[in-house]
Amino acid sequence: MKTARAYDTVAAIVTAIGVLFLIGVYFPILNPGMYQTSFHHQKLPSIGHYTIGTPIALLILAVGWHFNRESEKLRKNGR
């Protein structure tokens, strides 16, 4: 049985994972001082790190968005 609450839960969990993944991809740019301190003065990741990581994170966020839309549809129909 499809319920809005189940879709809400899945949407929240998947979206949180997507956000954490996206922040993890861009962490060296968002906070370079902490990145260099925490990881012993490593160089910034290559452009491949961002070109592969960004679409994966956006795909995860799109899946969360899809579940949220399904939840809204079920709520609109009264389930």
Residue 1 has pLDDT above 90, yes or no: no
Q: Specify the pLDDT at position 37.
A: 57
| Residue 52 confidence class, pLDDT cut points 50, 70, 90 | very high
Residue 49: which domain range?
4-77
Q: Please, are residues 10 and 65 in contact by the beta-carbon 8 Å criterion? A: no
Spatial separation of the C-alpha atoms in residues 49 and 41, rounded to whole Å: 18
| Residue 35 confidence class, pLDDT cut points 50, 70, 90 | low
Percentage of residues in the chain having pLDDT higher than 70: 85
Residue 9 has pLDDT above 80, yes or no: yes
The dihedrals phi and psi of 26, each to the nearest 5 degrees, come to: -95, 10
Spatial separation of the C-alpha atoms in residues 19 and 24, rounded to whole Å: 8
Number of independent structural domains in the chain: 1
